[in-house]
Chain A
Amino acid sequence: MLNIKNLEAKVDNKHILNGLNLDIKPGEVHAIMGPNGSGKSTLANILSGKNGYEIKGEIKYDGQNLSELSTEERAQKGIFLAFQYPLEIPGVNTNVFLRTSLNSVRKARGEKELDTLNFLKLVKEKSSELGINEKFLSRQLNVGFSGGEKKKNEILQMKILQPKLAILDETDSGLDIDALRIVADGVNSYKNKDNAFLIITHYQRLLDYIKPNFIHVLSKGKIVKTGNAELGVELEKTGYANFI
């Protein structure tokens, strides 16, 4: 599904990614761990199409060169990023945002737009699975949401948009135990043989709930170690020092 070859990225002449390789197949869950500033969010942003990076190397998504696709086209083709810091958009009702977003994606896929009634039914179902109060959806997007609420809202969007490749950037940071479990359940219930996850995290506790097929350690813009689920437990004990 995703093939990254020798990816390099610079911002203002500063090297952030230095020859990164990664292959993700349908049905797989990959975790990326690594110290602060190692380039995790940069990787996520490059995959989802944020501007401002000078990029070398090759990224293929379903066989297509990712660089040919605009940010919204990537989203429409099923790449989803749960932001480390979800943006606040004052004045924009959360429900309106979700519906506009879903309908853009549906339109691009050649599906019919959902009318208000059917949309509300869908949103009701998905938000109750995540224990999100409906009232909260009529508030302005992310404005005044607590850290945990913002993260849950990202997962809600994922469940509504039904992406093929979901990238979660530190979605677990700042969540209490209950919220963490809800978010993990949200991921597990969505996971299937056709989609894939790239989960950026600092903590093994999330990986206790969501079993990854691979764990990669990112350091200074490169993957320096790849292992199975065991690697996370080891990292938790010893820290990154042994690998970087």
Chain B
Amino acid sequence: MKTEDLKNIKDYKYGFTTDVENIRSPKGLSEETIRFISNIKKEPSWMLDWRLKAFNRLKVLKEPDWQKPKYPKINYQDLYYYSAPKSASTKPKNLDEIDPKILETYKKLGIPLDEQKRLNGIAVDAVFDSVSVATTFKDELTKKGIIFCSISEAIQKHSDLVKKYLGSVIPLSDHYFATLNSAVFTDGSFVYIPPNTRCPMELSTYFRINASETGQFERTLIIADKGSYVSYLEGCTAPMRDENQLHAANVELVALDDAEIKYSTVQNWYPGDENGVGGIYNFVTKRGACRGKNSKISWTQVETGSAITWKYPSCILQGDNSVGEFYSIAITNNHQKADTGTKMIHIGKNTKSKIISKGISAGKADNMYRGLVEVKNKASNSRNYTQCDSLLMGNKCGAHTIPYIKNNNSTSTIEHEATTTKINEEQLYYCNQRGLDQEEAVSLIVNGFCKEVLQQLPMEFAVEAQKLVAISLEGSVG
């Protein structure tokens, strides 16, 4: 690790803001706000109706409070639900039409959008606050019948697909934050892979929160039709602000017969400062349905940012022989808190799930794995394997593991293993004695600890993620 990098990150190198003129919805949560969003996105009326239905439902729902990390009450009337650069109010048709300031922002983030310098073999959708500002490689994908665009565009142009699948995995009334999202979601990505098609490149969305006092309500929908394959990756950053900002996303995945979706997240939202001031509340609902036989959904997440991370990417294994996987690294440092894990619901026969969770806690942080494995009575011969490992650095941090297990089929088996270890002084001394400095030693040990998960990431991102892991623990020992 170069000291340069370390210094950068100490100040959270993504913490800058971009000064652009914004269009905002009226402040607060109201029917007016929802109509504003739907109108500005030129949505068909069924979409508005759907949103309003969610909004009505929301009025009777209560915010959940069973999670470990507590947070001050959010004043929903004090937030903006839509904020977009003025220049993006009509979606730019090509890069020349994008505000250079926004292009510059993505360049600074290491996500060049211009076609000459585009990331090698990776198609990117860039979401800036509430709107998608650019999607690369569109033509090449279209040739194969693959749809990769913003959800706003999909609602207009691929209405049938959206209508059929939106809310089919996360019902409109699922729980407070999911319902809130259904009412006010602004943008996100839409992916459709036609039958028997292997998506020829990584698809990736980069989420950026820029405006203050603004919540980001992302909605992503990915459909892998029969016999198709897609690998999708999302990345996220936000400026440093001393207010807490809410990111409440809904992500739905649908895999039909023999289809596979690999979904990876590298989450590096602003975590707040060393004293716990500011940072993103990352309250996200992610759920995948293995609807067809032999289908597979694999979640990989590297969660290093956010003040609070609260999410359980899940798999509903409906199709016979379907497979669900969850690979997770959750790192909490300073005052960060994470309550994360997964749900694997076995419904079809011979379904398999695997959970590998690596929690790393440093400073005064708290890290919780919470996971449900449920085998329904018809899911005969199903298998789950869960492994939860926690690594503690120092004496002031915490790690907790809560596995919920429900097995209603006697032919199925659920296996759970858990370990908690501390990076010990002796290991560090051993590394130091071999010439490694403290940071190198920690990075080596921690990356060793999470290797199984890092290996799941697409190659291009594994190296970045490895660096991020080391960086987010900077200064946590010695």
Chain A interface residues toward B at CB < 8 A: 48-51, 70-72, 74-76, 80-81, 83, 86-87, 89-93, 96-97, 100-102, 104-105, 108, 140, 157, 161
Chain B interface residues toward A at CB < 8 A: 421, 425-427, 429-437, 440, 444-445, 447-451
Cβ-defined contact, B430 with A104, below 8 A = no
Cβ-defined contact, A161 with B449, below 8 A = no
Chain A residues positioned under 8 Å from B450 (CB to CB) = 91
Chain B residues positioned under 8 Å from A92 (CB to CB) = 444-445, 447-448
Cβ-defined contact, B435 with A81, below 8 A = no
Chain A residues positioned under 8 Å from B433 (CB to CB) = 48-49, 71-72, 74-75, 80-81, 83
Chain B residues positioned under 8 Å from A81 (CB to CB) = 433
Query: Which of A70, A91, A92, A140 is the most central at the interface, judged by chain B CB atoms within 10 Å of its CB?
Result: A91
Cβ-defined contact, A87 with B430, below 8 A = yes
Min CB–CB distance B265 → chain A (angstroms): 22
Residue of A nearest to B429 (CB): A50
In the complex, which of the residues B426, B427, B437, B447 contacts A104, with contact meaning CB atoms closer than 8 Å? B437
Q: How far is the CA of A92 from the CA of B447 in the complex (A)?
A: 8
Min CB–CB distance A85 → chain B (angstroms): 9
> With A100-B444, A104-B440 in contact, do A89 and B427 touch (Cβ < 8 Å)?
yes
Cβ-defined contact, B432 with A71, below 8 A = yes
10 pairs of residues in contact across A and B, judged by CB atoms under 8 Å: A51-B429, A70-B437, A71-B433, A72-B436, A89-B431, A89-B448, A90-B421, A91-B451, A104-B435, A105-B434
B interface secondary structure, majority:
helix
Min CB–CB distance B123 → chain A (angstroms): 31
Q: How far is the CA of A43 from the CA of B431 in the complex (A)?
A: 19
Min CB–CB distance A210 → chain B (angstroms): 22
Q: How far is the CA of A87 from the CA of B421 in the complex (A)?
A: 14
Chain B residues positioned under 8 Å from A49 (CB to CB) = 432-433
In the complex, which of the residues A50, A90, A140, A161 contacts B435, with contact meaning CB atoms closer than 8 Å? A161
Min CB–CB distance B78 → chain A (angstroms): 45
Chain B residues positioned under 8 Å from A108 (CB to CB) = 435
Min CB–CB distance B392 → chain A (angstroms): 14
Chain B residues positioned under 8 Å from A161 (CB to CB) = 434-435
Q: How far is the CA of A76 from the CA of B427 in the complex (A)?
A: 18
> With A92-B444, A97-B444 in contact, do A87 and B426 touch (Cβ < 8 Å)?
yes
8 A-B pairs besides A48-B433, A70-B437, A71-B429 with CB distance below 8 A are A51-B429, A75-B432, A81-B433, A89-B445, A90-B421, A101-B435, A101-B436, A161-B434
Q: How far is the CA of A85 from the CA of B451 in the complex (A)?
A: 25
Min CB–CB distance A82 → chain B (angstroms): 10
Q: How far is the CA of A72 from the CA of B430 in the complex (A)?
A: 10
Query: Which of A70, A81, A83, A100 is the most central at the interface, judged by chain B CB atoms within 10 Å of its CB?
Result: A100
Cβ-defined contact, B435 with A87, below 8 A = no
Min CB–CB distance A161 → chain B (angstroms): 7
Q: How far is the CA of A75 from the CA of B431 in the complex (A)?
A: 10
Chain A residues positioned under 8 Å from B437 (CB to CB) = 70, 72, 104
Query: Which of B425, B426, B433 is the most central at the interface, judged by chain A CB atoms within 10 Å of its CB?
Result: B433
Residue of A nearest to B430 (CB): A87
Q: How far is the CA of A89 from the CA of B433 in the complex (A)?
A: 14
Q: How far is the CA of A81 from the CA of B427 in the complex (A)?
A: 14
In the complex, which of the residues B427, B440, B448, B451 contacts A87, with contact meaning CB atoms closer than 8 Å? B427
Cβ-defined contact, B435 with A97, below 8 A = no
Residue of A nearest to B436 (CB): A104
Min CB–CB distance B458 → chain A (angstroms): 21
Chain A residues positioned under 8 Å from B427 (CB to CB) = 87, 89
Chain B residues positioned under 8 Å from A83 (CB to CB) = 430, 433
Cβ-defined contact, B449 with A91, below 8 A = yes
Min CB–CB distance A155 → chain B (angstroms): 14
Q: How far is the CA of A71 from the CA of B427 in the complex (A)?
A: 13
Min CB–CB distance A186 → chain B (angstroms): 17
Q: How far is the CA of A89 from the CA of B440 in the complex (A)?
A: 14
Cβ-defined contact, A86 with B451, below 8 A = no
In the complex, which of the residues B425, B426, B432, B434 contacts A97, with contact meaning CB atoms closer than 8 Å? B434
Q: How far is the CA of A86 from the CA of B434 in the complex (A)?
A: 12
Min CB–CB distance A202 → chain B (angstroms): 22
Chain B residues positioned under 8 Å from A71 (CB to CB) = 429, 432-433
